[in-house]
Amino acid sequence: MTDIKPANPLEMIAYVLSLQIVDGEVIYIGTGLPMVAGILAKKTHAPNVTMVYESGAQNPIQGDMPWSVGGPATWRKSPLILEMAYSFGQMYNGYVDKAFLGFAQIDQYGNVNTHMIGGDFHNYKNRLTGSGGNNDLSSLAKHLVLVGLQSPQKFVEKVDFITSPGFLTGGDARKDAGLVGGGPLSVITSAGTYDFEPESKKMRIKTLHPGVSPELAQMATGFELQKPEGEIPVTPLPTPDIIQILREEVDPRGVFTSLPGC
Amino acid sequence: MGKFSYDKDVLENLRIAEEETHLLDRLLDYESAREAHANKSHAAIDKRLSLKEAIGEYVKDGDILTDTGFAYVRTPIVAYFEIIRQGIKGLQNIGSPATNQSYMIPFGTVTHSHWSYCGAEMRGTDRQMSRCVKAGKTKILSEWSHGSMAQGFKAAQLGVPGMYSKQLLGSDIIKYNPFVRSVDNPVKTEKDPCVFIPALYPDVTVIHVHQADKFGNAKIYGPVINDVAIASAARKVIITAEEIVPPDALRNDNKGVVIPFVYVDAVVELPYGALLGHMPGLYYWPRRMWEKILRHWAYNEDMIDDFYETFILGCKDQYDIIDKLLGGSKWMVNAKRLTRAEEYDNEDEGVDFNYTEWTREDPNPEDVTDQFKPIY
């Protein structure tokens, strides 16, 4: 156990994400790191977590890492599978505690873009996937956890397209727009974890991963990060036990947590 | 046809001219959908046709075609290939997701798009789709989220003019959707912004199912997604089925029968009709094939001719795809084993899901089979 390799950045994100999950919650997730985090939480501190998917799949037993949100691993021995409209409906009706989402761009108010990068709607640099369920989750979920890599290209002053509303222009803007969900609770990245200042709703450093200074985090960000009062805590590292569970039981093929050369 | 109004700013954002709004009307036109539903035969008669006949009879130039299943799960891709093969042009494509329109655009099959999601999740963004939209080969008529579009189809199934939704609020999507409208909840005392999502009535849909009887009653195993709602809404419904069973089989075991025969215009027996995708309970994705589609055939513009040669001309049907491209019977056995093990209907201990991803530097680029691995 003592000679186990430390967590790579993706494993670190998966671990920190898993800590966002409280036992007994229903979580709504997409493929990738949120899936890894959900299974890790289930195998460690949150054995009674229930995972649901936009394809309508509910509470599968664990199998291989899913290839797609619609694939069998998301509904492996599910007691039932809901239609898509009903699957989002359970979020509006209050049955989902947290939703986990990725982003291509995010701004200081947690607004997310998965539509297009650069230029405008017709003359873009890259067209991305579009919303999928991203807008639905961010509109409706009680709490939203956003996850992605951090860089000035991704953490931007203004997103090129608001696919999914965070706190819009801050303050009470989200509530005034009529959105029911609570908005972004936290942002988990390769550099640290962030929350949102309660009044202004601006993104604020919560913890930084070991070796990351506030200056370094700011350099990887295209807007001014808010800082908490007092010392910024260091994000806790996963224990060797947890790393071992992650590598041997959660994602043994390294589908989402392996890095070349690590 | 009823008359519909559209927000001028939204039309301008999408660059839809006033004289083009007739392209939008039919998706909302409840009267003509109801008339189409009323005028089709309501009798339980034998509706079996060949795939060629069904597509030729029911998919017409300019129709609004619905993508069904979930991107590459139980999606009627073999039927889509037949639509391309028959040279049908100018379709509008709508669906949540609407991933399969991508390869239909370069041939002029699809020229107008309603977009909620186009891509392949962890396999990455779809460069072809991005390229085609920018070059104006397809025009985006509306932007959606999965959930809001699902509400539009569901409203049609429920037989109501639309729904009040809490999705899309505050986003830019609403600025690029001429169908939805910001409205206030009429029963709340304080201001309560909502989005009105009208019922959506596509022209034609193809839905791939596990079993159907000759009348069109259809059984689905695994995620249904939006297909029951779409089947009730579409003016014309083609069912492609892995197998045709006697009507009594569906009476005796009605679990999973979700589409009633009255909606259905044509029934096509089409084993492996969800290739190149996955069919719950029956066959797993050819994973290297999907990677090659995204990383090779969709990668550069000039590869689309090779795609046409390979899939539309080079393979006349799904059996050719299995025999010529995927490795024949070994692929069939392996694909069944992988999905049954992943669903845990078969013992999964010892079943190896590892395979080598197809990459642009692949040492064996012609090999699109997932390696067959005997358990013993």
What DSSP letter does each residue of B91-104 carry, written as one string?
EEEE-SS-GGGGGG
> Average pLDDT of A142-169?
97
pLDDT value of position B352: 85
In chain B, residues with a C-beta closer than 8 Å to the C-beta of A177 are 169-170, 193
Which tens digits make up the pLDDT trace of B2-21? 589 999 999 999 999 999 99
Interface test with A, best of B75, B123, B166, B348 (most A CBs within 10 A): B166
How many residues make up chain B in this entry?
A: 376
Interface of A with B in 191-250 (CB under 8 A): none
ipTM: 0.95
Q: Is A169 on the interface with B (CB under 8 A)?
A: no
Distance CA B123, CA B245 (A): 36
**CA nearest neighbour of A106 among A207, A15, A184, A12:** A184
> A65 pLDDT exceeds 90?
no
Enumerate long-range contacts of A168-177, CB under 8 Å, 24 or more apart: A168/A109, A168/A111, A168/B170, A169/A109, A170/A108, A170/A109, A170/A200, A170/A201, A170/A202, A171/A199, A171/A200, A171/A201, A173/A109, A173/A201, A173/B170, A174/A201, A174/B170, A177/B169, A177/B170, A177/B193
CB-based contacts of A131, cutoff 8 Å, min separation 6: A114, A115, A163, A164, B116, B117, B143, B144, B145, B146, B173
Torsion angle of the four alpha carbons A166, A171, A173, A174, in this order, in degrees rounded to the nearest 10: 40
Amino acid at B159: G
**A168 CA: distance to closest CA in chain B (Å):** 7
Task: Tell me the longest C-alpha to C-alpha distance in chain A.
Answer: 55
Q: Is A121 on the interface with B (CB under 8 A)?
A: yes
> Which domains, ranges and CATH numbers included, belong to chain A?
9-250 (3.40.1080.10)
> Average pLDDT of A195-223?
97
CB-closest option in A129, A140, A168 to B167: A140
> Average pLDDT of B45-54?
98
Which tens digits make up the pLDDT trace of A12-47? 999 999 999 999 999 998 778 899 999 999 999 999
**B284 CA: distance to closest CA in chain A (Å):** 9
Which tens digits make up the pLDDT trace of A105-126? 999 999 999 999 999 999 999 9
CB contact under 8 A, B166 and A63: no
CB-based contacts of B3, cutoff 8 Å, min separation 6: none
In chain A, residues with a C-beta closer than 8 Å to the C-beta of B96 are 84
User: Of A72-76, B75-79, B94-98, B286-290, which has the strongest mean pLDDT?
Assistant: B75-79
- pLDDT category at B301 given cuts 50, 70, 90 is confident
DSSP structural state of residue B370: P
> Average pLDDT of B168-180?
98
> In chain A, which residue's Cα lies nearest the Cα of B195?
A178
In chain A, residues with a C-beta closer than 8 Å to the C-beta of B71 are 68, 70
CB contact under 8 A, A129 and B125: yes
**Proportion of chain A above pLDDT 70, given as a percent:** 98
In chain A, residues with a C-beta closer than 8 Å to the C-beta of B126 are 129
For helices A84-92 and B146-158, give the axis angle rounded to 10 degrees.
Answer: 110
Q: Which residue has the tokens 């350099």?
A: A219
Ramachandran angles phi, psi of B77, nearest 5°: -65, -35
Angle A118-B118-B105 (CA atoms, 0-180°, nearest 5)? 95
> B370 pLDDT exceeds 80?
no
Distance CA A78, CA A96 (A): 17
Distance CA B133, CA B105 (A): 9
Amino acid at A15: Y
DSSP structural state of residue A232: P
> In chain B, which residue's Cα lies nearest the Cα of A138?
B167
Interface test with B, best of A28, A33, A52, A55 (most B CBs within 10 A): A55
Q: Is B280 on the interface with A (CB under 8 A)?
A: yes
> What's this model's pTM, rounded to 2 decimal places?
0.96
CB contact under 8 A, B287 and A81: no
In chain B, residues with a C-beta closer than 8 Å to the C-beta of A140 are 147, 166-167
CB contact under 8 A, A129 and B280: no
- pLDDT category at B273 given cuts 50, 70, 90 is very high
- pLDDT category at B279 given cuts 50, 70, 90 is very high
Token pair for A20: 């966002």
| Helices and strands in chain A: count of H runs, count of E runs | 7, 11
Q: Are A202 and A221 in contact (CB under 8 A)?
A: no
Distance CA B344, CA B323 (A): 28
Distance CA B219, CA B50 (A): 19
> Which domains, ranges and CATH numbers included, belong to chain B?
1-305 (3.40.1080.10)
Q: Are B264 and B233 in contact (CB under 8 A)?
A: no
Enumerate long-range contacts of A59-63, CB under 8 Å, 24 or more apart: A61/B344, A63/B342, A63/B344, A63/B348
> A254 pLDDT exceeds 90?
no
Q: Are A16 and A206 in contact (CB under 8 A)?
A: no
CB contact under 8 A, A135 and B148: yes
pLDDT value of position B375: 64
**B264 Rama sector, left if φ>0, alpha if ψ -120 to 50, beta otherwise:** beta
pLDDT value of position B123: 64
- pLDDT category at B376 given cuts 50, 70, 90 is low
pLDDT value of position A262: 41
